[in-house]
Amino acid sequence: MSETAPRVPDEAESEDVVNPWSVSSSSGKGVDYNKLIERFGCTALDDGIRQRLQSAIGDTPLHHLIRREIFFAHRDIAPILTRIENKQPFFLYTGRGPSSTAMHVGHLLPFIITKWFQDVLNVPLVIQLTDDEKFLWKDMTYEEAFHLAFENARDIIALGFDPKKTFIFSNFRFMGQCPEFYQNIVKIQKCVTMNQVRGIFGFGDSDSIGKIAFPAVQAAPCFPSSFPFIFGAMKDVPCLIPCGIDQDPYFRMTRDVAPRLNYPKPSLVFSTFFPALQGAQTKMSSSDPNSSIFLTDSDKVIKTKINKHAFSGGKATVEEHRLLGGDCDVDISYQYLRFFLESDDELDRIKQEYSSGKMMTGELKKILIELLQKIVGEHRAKRAEVTDEVVKEFMTPRPLLL
């Protein structure tokens, strides 16, 4: 069956909305990811896969985002594992739609895991900044979108990617620099009908033709021939894409098209969403400043936002809390610690103490506040070191170490 065959969701499924433009759930625990796996037709990232990845990479422990099942699903990761085991080449591909100057901490997740993969596997990486996508979807000028791509590149570079192995590009600029990229886009466009994009993305008669054509632009970097300066004549190097599950529709489409172009299908690993401070019903959004911790927030702002807005799974009174304990499943401060606190022992201890009522919400929030202040503070310092020259280097088409 074609991976893009649209399925009509049943009643229960329809409560979770997950697509590239919106994510929401009616449950405080957030989106039901098991149902999503079934609905999207991807596969759970289970113990078997984790063990195989662990033995393929040797001594380095799996990243906590993988250990804690925040990266919870995949498509076709087995061929990539085989390549790792056989020391054959592949590359990493991820991206970001630059919609605001300030990225929030949730935006870092795909990049954190991508960097980890790059560090342990030593492979080339391409990062697409979809300034064109944001121009088409948002109320934004071309100049703003283009500018934001560069500002966001600075944040991404600050995470410590290796310039010898990383190419970051703005679609607006790269399109004019690399005919092979545009050729692939048009080849992909020729393979996909209006009927198919309507089924996959829900486009309708009043959507601009720019939106309808865009999915091919996000698909093209999956193919090594889009980057002749990196891969030369190597046409069969496949890619692994770490991304949020909301991006899956683009790559379902890509995987359908690939064999028709004689190109390798991309493999994917998917993360869950980073919840909004107000609760797991929605993901963090840059458009609501109180729903997110931004990389530009001061220590004071971080403290106030968490104390004031982070949804608590604690009980209403001290007595009740001591007696019954807090609910980690809905407690946003605890959930954020799962994403950012590296030590499993420390996280277990917090969970145990909070859910038994020994630890109060205030103490839990204090741990999170200090951790995020540290992470955001370190990011701020590293970002300040990323000069225009450095950004330019990362964004110049050039050979990378293979």
Q: Which residues lie near ligand TRP (CB under 6 A)?
A: 20, 93-97, 128, 130, 133, 218, 241, 243, 247
Choice between 170 and 333, CB closer to ligand TRP:
170
Question: Closest separation between CB of residue 93 and ligand TRP, Å?
Answer: 6
Q: Return the number of the residue (76 or 327) whose C-beta is nearest ligand TRP.
A: 76
Shortest distance in whole angstroms from residue 243 CB to ligand TRP: 4
Q: Which two tokens stand for residue 162?
A: 């290796």
CB 156 within 8 A of CB 128: no
**Token pair recorded at residue 159:** 């995470």
CB of 94 to ligand TRP, least distance (A): 4
Nearer to ligand TRP, 95 or 326 (CB): 95
DSSP state of 273: P
| Closer Cβ to ligand TRP, 268 or 332, answer by number | 268
CB of 221 to ligand TRP, least distance (A): 7
| Closest CB 160 distance from ligand TRP, rounded Å | 19
The Cα 341–Cα 372 span in angstroms is 9
Which residue number, 271 or 312, has a Cβ lying nearer to ligand TRP? 271
* 359 within 8 A of 327, measured Cβ to Cβ: no
Helix/strand/coil for 137: helix
Whether the Cβ atoms of residue 264 and residue 95 lie closer than 8 Å to each other: no
With residue 393 as reference, give the H or E element that holds it.
helix 388-394
Least distance in Å: CB of 128 to ligand TRP?
4
Nearest to ligand TRP of 145, 310 (CB atom): 145
Q: Are 4 and 200 in contact (CB under 8 A)?
A: yes
Nearer to ligand TRP, 269 or 372 (CB): 269
Exposed e or buried b for every residue in 48-71, given b needs 16+ CB within 10 A? ebeebbeebbeeeebbbbbebbbb
What distance in Å separates the CA atoms of residue 149 and residue 375, rounded to the nearest whole number? 22
| Residues whose CB falls within 8 Å of the CB of residue 95, separated by 6 or more in sequence, listed in order | 127, 128, 129, 130, 218, 221, 243
Estimate to the nearest angstrom the gap between the alpha carbon of 78 and the chain centroid.
Answer: 20
Residue 3 CB burial class (10 angstroms; 0-12, 13-18, ≥19): middle
CB of 1 to ligand TRP, least distance (A): 24
- d(C-alpha 96, C-alpha 268), whole Å: 16
Q: Which is nearer to ligand TRP, 192 or 243 (CB)?
A: 243
Q: What angle do CA 11, 13, 15 make, to 5 degrees?
A: 85
Q: Which is nearer to ligand TRP, 218 or 312 (CB)?
A: 218
Alpha-carbon span 53 to 81, nearest angstrom: 7
The nearest distance, CB 199 to ligand TRP, in angstroms, is 19
Do 328 and 334 touch, CB atoms closer than 8 A?
yes
The smaller minimum CB distance to ligand TRP, of residues 42 and 310, is found at 42
Supply the DSSP symbol for 128: E
Closest contact distance (angstroms) between CB of 102 and ligand TRP is 15
For residues 29 and 15, give the distance between their C-alpha atoms in angstroms, rounded to a whole number: 13
- Least distance from C-beta 134 to ligand TRP, angstroms? 7
